[in-house]
Structure 1
Amino acid sequence: MEDLHFADYLVFAGAGMFVLGYLIINQVILRIMLLVGTLLYIWYYGVVDDTPLWSAIWASTATGTANILGLLNLFYSRSALAIPHGFQDIYERFDNLPPGDFAKLMRASERVHRPDGHRLVTEGAQVATLYYILEGNAQITKGLNSFEIAEDTFVGEIGYLTGNPASATAELAQDSVLLEWDVAKLRKRARRDPRFKLALEALISLDLAEKVTRSVRAHPQEPPVL
């Protein structure tokens, strides 16, 4: 230990930053610690010998640059800048999602106006489109029972999750504004992007919980599941 020099302390400190970084779950802190470790390694490569170790310096610079780009992408995905312009007015309805996840979900959707009486799902038929009512309401019918659901509600979410046919019919009760997702494309996207899948399923879970709460308060009978 008596023979340790300044360069040795640099490499120990750099290794320490990497070890601590790998023990941290938070992606931002992890990347910052790895960046500090990389800078310490570059410093070490510059002073360990009479001639700087340029190949190691350039290699570490490349990995550090990639880390910086990833860090900037993390900051961007968590900022309001990630929200698509056409959906900024509705983000407050989905503010339980980070802006980046919200942006992915909205880019896969289509915002449309549909007329009164437009059928969303049909009892016994496969659900081809997942809907979210932004403005308006829908009439839900199963057999002789019917009730209305208001805006800020998914329609067709159980069919999307399970692949089963709809157990009720849903039609718009007035001219409405909807978000629509093609179910086949949505499932394909969810298979490719686990984070996208988690974001969508989190929204659907909250929607289902709210529906159950409203049903218990207003309807003693079990409501139809779409």
Structure 2
Amino acid sequence: MSLDTISITFILVNLAYLMTFTALSIKEVLWLRVVLACSHSMIFINNYYYAQNYNVAVWNFIFILVNIIQVVRIYDDRKPRMIPQDMEDLYRGIFSAFTSKEFLYFMNLGEKEIINKQKLISLGDHQKDLLLVLNGDALVMREGKHLAKLNRGQFLGEISFLTDQPASADVYAKDELQYIKWDQSKIRAIKISNNAFWAKLNSVLTNDLTAKITS
């Protein structure tokens, strides 16, 4: 191995270790993956072209591919999507912690419905759905006593969803009421498949409940 080769190897190896060390201090996952991909690239170049240690080179090539795939996936998740105009206030408001992709995914899981002056939730019933008011007013009643009026951007049945307890009040549509509903079992399945998304949704529901209690 020539002196020039030794110098190049020294530079590549130490540069790779420096990048790996730097990656340990990066909290942003996207940039962490980018730096790791660069680090493994240095090790790959050194072992393939200079040290000719092909076993190490192959493994680092695999690590490069894994990190590049993750970079593409993370970028795709964060890439802005077009939000329908009639949903933009919800996205900018209660769902502001969601990416546009997460918001559209969650909305597409639900079903929109319209009722008129009908009971929506009965006291003591076990709720199968989580609901969000889109248009109109929902009246919350218990034993004939008016407790609250809920409108656009407020959830119905979130207490039952969070506590797995029966409904604590009756809910009626004051007039025409449009809402979107999600099957609770489908939402709970997200907790297993996408814990980060579940944490954001749980925060949204908790904030909604807190706002109702303190208002």
Structure 2 residue identity aligned to 1:41: I
Q: Is the 8 A contact 2:133 2:150 kept in 1?
A: no
Alignment of 1:148 onto 2:153: no
Relative to 1, partners in 2 of residues 1:184 and 1:33: Cα closer, same or farther, differing over 3 Å? Answer: same
User: SS of the residue aligned with 2:116?
Assistant: coil
Per the alignment, residue 126 of structure 2 pairs with 126
Alignment of 1:101 onto 2:70: no
What is the Cα deviation at residue 53 of structure 1? 4.0
Alignment of 1:48 onto 2:50: yes
User: SS of the residue aligned with 1:5?
Assistant: helix
Tell me the matched-pair count.
208
Distance 1:95 1:30 in 2: 25
Per the alignment, residue 23 of structure 2 pairs with 21
Structure 2 residue identity aligned to 1:98: T
Relative to 1, partners in 2 of residues 1:175 and 1:26: Cα closer, same or farther, differing over 3 Å? Answer: same
Per the alignment, residue 8 of structure 2 pairs with 6
What is the Cα deviation at residue 88 of structure 1? 6.0
Relative to 1, partners in 2 of residues 1:189 and 1:96: Cα closer, same or farther, differing over 3 Å? Answer: closer
What is the Cα deviation at residue 177 of structure 1? 2.3
What is the Cα deviation at residue 97 of structure 1? 1.8
Distance 1:171 1:65 in 2: 55
Query: Structure 1 stretch 71-80 or stretch 91-100: which is displaced more?
Result: 91-100
Q: Is the 8 A contact 1:105 1:200 kept in 2?
A: no
Distance 2:160 2:185 in 1: 11
Relative to 1, partners in 2 of residues 1:33 and 1:74: Cα closer, same or farther, differing over 3 Å? Answer: same
Deviations 1:139-185 (A, max 9, x none): 11111311321111000001001011111011212222212111122
Per the alignment, residue 78 of structure 1 pairs with 78
Distance 1:35 1:123 in 2: 56
Distance 2:59 2:204 in 1: 42
Per the alignment, residue 63 of structure 1 pairs with 63
- Structure 2 residue runs of 5 or longer lacking an equivalent are none
Relative to 1, partners in 2 of residues 1:130 and 1:23: Cα closer, same or farther, differing over 3 Å? Answer: same
Relative to 1, partners in 2 of residues 1:19 and 1:103: Cα closer, same or farther, differing over 3 Å? Answer: farther
Q: Please give the root-mean-square deviation of Cα atoms over the aligned residues, in Å.
A: 2.4
Structure 2 residue identity aligned to 1:57: A
Alignment of 1:182 onto 2:183: yes
Distance 1:91 1:109 in 2: 15
Per the alignment, residue 221 of structure 1 pairs with none
Structure 2 residue identity aligned to 1:9: I
Relative to 1, partners in 2 of residues 1:161 and 1:204: Cα closer, same or farther, differing over 3 Å? Answer: same
Q: TM-score, normalised by structure 1?
A: 0.81
Q: Is the 8 A contact 1:113 1:175 kept in 2?
A: no
Q: Is the 8 A contact 2:159 2:209 kept in 1?
A: no
Q: Is the 8 A contact 1:7 1:47 kept in 2?
A: no
Identity, % of aligned positions: 20
Deviations 1:96-155 (A, max 9, x none): 322243244224322x13121233221111111100011111011111311321111000
Q: Is the 8 A contact 2:130 2:155 kept in 1?
A: yes
Distance 1:69 1:114 in 2: 43
Distance 1:98 1:192 in 2: 17
Alignment of 1:31 onto 2:45: no
